[in-house]
């Protein structure tokens, strides 16, 4: 990747000397500048009215109304609450898809913003706060802006753009289907079939004005597991008359940690196994019948992913049986490894360099969080990148990670997101149309 980025810098340097047509890129800049107040208003409206996965009714209605005003072909109710729209360009060409996620998280916001969420909902039987603490409100506003920019330019578009506003990226409620997988089953990648898909994610680990890119594996798979360790209930004063599942569950937790520390080749790819919940018993004088735990397996290689799944199951089973107990292990694959297509990553990186200027695009390290954008990439080639939301000079104690109740973004990133995603789309369509150099003059040369 470093050799790729170095060669790209030479390519861009030579390109800046060429007589490239910058008219389209300048048009995108002007349209994004004019849109910025509305981008912020959309984002704040969505932020103040967050909705959990498969319940994005208000957000979907806001999006659909906007897309219809742009005279796009709009379909609602895809994947339960998803919205899909087609923009047919004025000239023939390929179909490219752009995706944004709309759902919020069951988190009580603590940002202190004047438009902070006060929404509440029921999640797994509990009354919880609801908040956009992962940036999906920004993703939705950005794609609404891209739709308006490209609709304004539709006469010169050589192809078709499919806008995908997706519910439940963070996962549907228990017992429901949702997210990218359900969108795909509902036909989002058919009629017409896109030849590529692009998406972005706002990221508090990346400085404002910078983009993180990577070819190949970028984000980890994410598989949920549940283990029920069963023993034999007895009085806590007489443990020898039963089988203590609390002790066995504790040993299972420690045993699973050795998968990462002693059984997996850590030099191959990063991976993480985390046990996040542990429940059992209801009185201090009763050893319970069973203890339940749950967690997640994350890996950046599909072979390692399957191997770790097997090791979690066999470790829990062997430890439980060693003392006369048993373990029931269920593993639910949720997210695949997010793998960026090499050709699209090269094109996207080139386009981001041109949009954001020299030095603003860097090789993003692999990350062990997950994204269901990977489901689309299993079917068609895709490119996914990160945009920073925290300006330079922000004190470290004011930088909060995605999913924190105090997560915040600098809203200047919204215009950057529109410019970057619109230009990647245009550059892809023009490359397919045989116009590789159209609009690729670096920002520093403007």
- Rounded CA-CA distance 349/383 in Å is 10
Q: Based on the residue annotation, tell me whether 428 is a catalytic residue of this protein.
A: no
Q: Based on the residue annotation, tell me whether 411 is a catalytic residue of this protein.
A: yes
Active-site annotation holder among 289, 292, 328, 411: 411
Sign for the pseudo-dihedral over CA of 10, 12, 17, 18: positive
Lookup result for tokens 């912020």: 40
Alpha-carbon dihedral angle through residues 103, 108, 112, 115, given to the nearest 10 degrees: 40
Q: Is 191 left (phi over 0), alpha (psi -120 to 50) or beta?
A: left
DSSP assignment, residue 238?
A: -
Phi and psi at residue 311, to the nearest 5°:
-70, -40
Two tokens at 309? 């799944």
Active-site annotation holder among 148, 170, 335, 346: 335
**382-390 and 216-219 as β-strands: parallel, antiparallel, unpaired?**
unpaired
Show the DSSP H helices in 153-279 as ranges. Answer: 179-185, 245-258
Find, among 187, 162, 182, 184, the residue nearest to 171 by Cα: 182
Q: Is residue 86 within 8 Å of 156, Cβ to Cβ?
A: no
Two tokens at 164? 């995908």
- Rounded CA-CA distance 151/143 in Å is 12
Q: Is residue 187 within 8 Å of 151, Cβ to Cβ?
A: no
- The angle that helices 136-152 and 57-69 make with each other, rounded to 10 degrees, is 10
Report CA-CA distances (Å) from 401 to 125, 214, 275, 398, 406: 27, 21, 20, 10, 8
**What residues contact 96, with CB distance under 8 A and at least 6 apart?**
159, 160, 161, 162, 194, 195, 196, 197, 198, 425, 428, 429
Q: Is residue 212 within 8 Å of 360, Cβ to Cβ?
A: no
Find, among 315, 354, 320, the residue nearest to 444 by Cα: 354
Q: Is residue 115 within 8 Å of 48, Cβ to Cβ?
A: yes
Q: Catalytic residue numbers?
A: 335, 411
């Amino acid at each position: 990747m470093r050799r790729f980025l170095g060669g790209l810098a030479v390519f861009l340097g030579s390109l800046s000397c060429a007589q490239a047509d910058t008219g389209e890129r300048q048009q995108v800049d002007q349209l994004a500048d004019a849109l910025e107040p509305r981008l912020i208003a959309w984002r704040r409206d969505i932020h103040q009215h967050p909705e959990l996965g498969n319940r994005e009714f208000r957000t979907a209605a806001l999006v659909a109304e906007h897309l219809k005003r742009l005279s796009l072909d709009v379909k609602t109710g895809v994947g339960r609450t998803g919205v899909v729209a087609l923009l047919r360009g004025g000239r023939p060409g390929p179909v490219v898809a752009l995706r944004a996620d709309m759902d919020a998280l069951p988190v009580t916001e603590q940002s202190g913003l004047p438009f902070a969420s006060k929404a509440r909902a029921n999640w797994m039987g509990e009354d919880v706060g609801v908040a956009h603490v992962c940036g999906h409100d920004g993703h939705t506003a950005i794609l609404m802006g891209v739709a308006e920019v490209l609709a304004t330019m539709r006469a010169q578009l050589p192809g078709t753009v499919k806008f995908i506003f997706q519910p439940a990226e963070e996962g549907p409620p228990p017992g429901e289907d949702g997210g990218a997988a359900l969108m795909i089953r509902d036909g989002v990648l058919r009629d017409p079939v896109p030849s590529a898909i692009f998406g972005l994610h706002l990221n508090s680990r990346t400085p404002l004005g910078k983009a993180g890119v990577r070819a190949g594996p970028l984000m980890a798979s994410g598989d949920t597991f549940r283990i029920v360790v069963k023993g034999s209930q007895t009085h806590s004063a007489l443990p020898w008359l039963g089988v203590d599942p609390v002790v066995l569950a504790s040993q299972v937790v420690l045993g699973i940690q050795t998968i990462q520390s002693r059984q997996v080749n850590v030099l191959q790819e990063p991976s993480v196994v985390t046990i996040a919940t542990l429940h059992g018993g209801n009185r201090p004088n009763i050893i319970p019948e069973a203890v339940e735990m749950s967690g997640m397996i994350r890996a950046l290689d599909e072979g390692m992913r399957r191997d770790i799944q097997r090791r979690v199951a066999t470790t829990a089973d062997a430890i439980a049986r060693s003392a006369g107990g048993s373990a029931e292990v269920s593993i639910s694959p949720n997210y695949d490894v997010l793998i960026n297509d090499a050709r699209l990553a090269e094109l996207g990186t080139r386009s981001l360099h041109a949009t954001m200027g020299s030095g603003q695009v860097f090789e993003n390290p692999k990350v062990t969080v997950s994204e269901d954008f990977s489901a689309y990439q299993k079917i068609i080639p895709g490119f996914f990148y990160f945009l920073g939301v925290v300006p330079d000079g922000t004190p470290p104690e004011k930088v909060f990670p995605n999913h924190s109740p105090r997560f915040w973004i600098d809203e200047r990133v919204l215009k950057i997101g529109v410019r970057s995603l619109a230009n990647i789309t245009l550059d892809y369509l023009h490359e397919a149309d045989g116009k590789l150099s159209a609009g690729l003059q670096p920002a520093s040369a403007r």
